[in-house]
Structure 1
Amino acid sequence: MAAADATALACQQLLADRWATATPERTTRDVDQPGVRLRCYLDLRQPIGPVSAPVDAVPEVSAAAPR
Protein backbone atom coordinates (compact mmCIF):
# COMPACT_ATOMS: atom_id res chain seq x y z
CA MET A 1 0.00 0.00 0.00
CA ALA A 2 1.27 3.49 -0.80
CA ALA A 3 0.27 6.95 0.38
CA ALA A 4 -0.40 8.33 -3.09
CA ASP A 5 -0.70 7.32 -6.74
CA ALA A 6 2.71 8.81 -7.58
CA THR A 7 4.41 6.76 -4.85
CA ALA A 8 2.78 3.50 -5.96
CA LEU A 9 3.64 4.09 -9.61
CA ALA A 10 7.23 5.08 -8.74
CA CYS A 11 7.64 1.84 -6.77
CA GLN A 12 6.30 -0.16 -9.71
CA GLN A 13 8.77 1.59 -12.02
CA LEU A 14 11.67 0.53 -9.77
CA LEU A 15 10.47 -3.07 -10.06
CA ALA A 16 10.03 -2.72 -13.83
CA ASP A 17 13.63 -1.52 -14.15
CA ARG A 18 14.79 -4.79 -12.56
CA TRP A 19 12.26 -7.41 -13.72
CA ALA A 20 9.61 -7.79 -16.39
CA THR A 21 6.35 -6.47 -14.99
CA ALA A 22 2.83 -5.92 -16.18
CA THR A 23 2.19 -2.25 -16.87
CA PRO A 24 0.04 -0.61 -14.20
CA GLU A 25 -3.18 0.91 -15.45
CA ARG A 26 -4.52 2.42 -12.28
CA THR A 27 -4.38 2.39 -8.51
CA THR A 28 -7.32 1.51 -6.27
CA ARG A 29 -8.54 2.92 -2.99
CA ASP A 30 -10.36 1.14 -0.16
CA VAL A 31 -13.28 3.05 1.34
CA ASP A 32 -12.40 4.65 4.70
CA GLN A 33 -8.77 3.46 4.43
CA PRO A 34 -5.74 5.70 3.85
CA GLY A 35 -3.50 5.16 0.85
CA VAL A 36 -3.78 3.46 -2.51
CA ARG A 37 -3.13 -0.06 -3.82
CA LEU A 38 -1.41 -1.11 -7.01
CA ARG A 39 -1.51 -4.68 -8.29
CA CYS A 40 1.79 -5.64 -9.88
CA TYR A 41 2.83 -8.92 -11.51
CA LEU A 42 6.54 -9.77 -11.66
CA ASP A 43 8.26 -12.45 -13.72
CA LEU A 44 10.82 -13.67 -11.18
CA ARG A 45 11.93 -16.58 -13.37
CA GLN A 46 14.12 -14.43 -15.57
CA PRO A 47 17.79 -13.95 -14.64
CA ILE A 48 18.68 -10.79 -12.79
CA GLY A 49 20.88 -8.50 -14.84
CA PRO A 50 22.69 -5.31 -13.97
CA VAL A 51 20.50 -2.35 -13.18
CA SER A 52 21.31 0.98 -14.71
CA ALA A 53 20.69 3.43 -11.89
CA PRO A 54 19.63 6.97 -12.73
CA VAL A 55 22.07 9.74 -11.86
CA ASP A 56 19.85 11.03 -9.05
CA ALA A 57 19.31 7.56 -7.51
CA VAL A 58 19.47 7.23 -3.76
CA PRO A 59 22.51 5.17 -2.69
CA GLU A 60 21.93 1.90 -0.84
CA VAL A 61 22.45 2.07 2.92
CA SER A 62 23.38 -0.91 5.04
CA ALA A 63 22.06 -1.35 8.58
CA ALA A 64 25.66 -2.05 9.59
CA ALA A 65 26.95 1.21 8.11
CA PRO A 66 28.59 3.62 10.59
CA ARG A 67 26.51 6.64 11.51
Structure 2
Amino acid sequence: MHSFDPELITTMRQALEDFMADVPAEAATPAIKAAIAECICKAALQGVSTYDGFVTAAGSQLQTLMSWLL
Protein backbone atom coordinates (compact mmCIF):
# COMPACT_ATOMS: atom_id res chain seq x y z
CA MET A 1 0.00 0.00 0.00
CA HIS A 2 1.24 3.45 -0.88
CA SER A 3 1.30 6.23 1.69
CA PHE A 4 1.04 9.95 0.99
CA ASP A 5 2.59 12.69 3.08
CA PRO A 6 0.20 14.80 5.17
CA GLU A 7 0.62 17.90 3.01
CA LEU A 8 -0.32 15.99 -0.14
CA ILE A 9 -3.35 14.48 1.61
CA THR A 10 -4.46 17.97 2.62
CA THR A 11 -4.15 19.12 -1.01
CA MET A 12 -6.06 16.07 -2.24
CA ARG A 13 -8.82 16.60 0.34
CA GLN A 14 -9.14 20.29 -0.52
CA ALA A 15 -9.37 19.51 -4.23
CA LEU A 16 -12.08 16.91 -3.55
CA GLU A 17 -14.14 19.23 -1.34
CA ASP A 18 -13.85 22.18 -3.72
CA PHE A 19 -14.65 20.02 -6.73
CA MET A 20 -17.70 18.52 -5.04
CA ALA A 21 -18.94 22.00 -4.12
CA ASP A 22 -19.31 22.69 -7.85
CA VAL A 23 -21.13 19.43 -8.65
CA PRO A 24 -24.90 19.95 -9.03
CA ALA A 25 -26.69 19.00 -5.81
CA GLU A 26 -28.70 16.21 -7.45
CA ALA A 27 -25.47 14.60 -8.64
CA ALA A 28 -23.41 15.12 -5.47
CA THR A 29 -24.14 11.66 -4.09
CA PRO A 30 -21.86 9.76 -1.73
CA ALA A 31 -21.11 7.36 -4.59
CA ILE A 32 -19.98 10.19 -6.88
CA LYS A 33 -17.84 11.67 -4.09
CA ALA A 34 -16.23 8.28 -3.43
CA ALA A 35 -15.53 7.78 -7.14
CA ILE A 36 -14.02 11.26 -7.45
CA ALA A 37 -11.88 10.60 -4.35
CA GLU A 38 -10.66 7.38 -5.95
CA CYS A 39 -9.84 9.27 -9.14
CA ILE A 40 -7.81 11.81 -7.15
CA CYS A 41 -5.96 9.00 -5.35
CA LYS A 42 -5.14 7.32 -8.64
CA ALA A 43 -3.86 10.64 -9.99
CA ALA A 44 -1.60 10.97 -6.95
CA LEU A 45 -0.26 7.47 -7.55
CA GLN A 46 0.57 8.53 -11.10
CA GLY A 47 2.60 11.48 -9.81
CA VAL A 48 0.07 14.32 -9.72
CA SER A 49 0.84 16.48 -6.70
CA THR A 50 -0.90 19.81 -7.26
CA TYR A 51 -4.35 21.08 -6.41
CA ASP A 52 -4.99 22.02 -10.05
CA GLY A 53 -3.82 18.61 -11.20
CA PHE A 54 -6.25 16.86 -8.86
CA VAL A 55 -9.16 19.08 -9.91
CA THR A 56 -8.35 18.43 -13.57
CA ALA A 57 -8.21 14.67 -12.97
CA ALA A 58 -11.55 14.77 -11.18
CA GLY A 59 -13.16 16.86 -13.91
CA SER A 60 -12.00 14.51 -16.62
CA GLN A 61 -13.95 11.69 -14.96
CA LEU A 62 -17.11 13.43 -13.75
CA GLN A 63 -19.25 13.03 -16.88
CA THR A 64 -18.42 9.33 -17.14
CA LEU A 65 -19.11 8.78 -13.46
CA MET A 66 -22.42 10.59 -13.53
CA SER A 67 -23.70 8.60 -16.49
CA TRP A 68 -22.57 5.36 -14.88
CA LEU A 69 -23.82 6.03 -11.34
CA LEU A 70 -27.03 7.96 -11.95
Determine which structure has more spread, i.e. the larger CA radius of gyration. 1
Q: When the two structures are superposed, what TM-score results if normalisation uses the length of structure 1?
A: 0.34
Q: Which has the higher strand share?
A: 1
Higher relative contact order (CA 8 A, sep 6+): 2
Question: Structure 2-normalised TM-score?
Answer: 0.33
Q: Which has the higher helix share?
A: 2
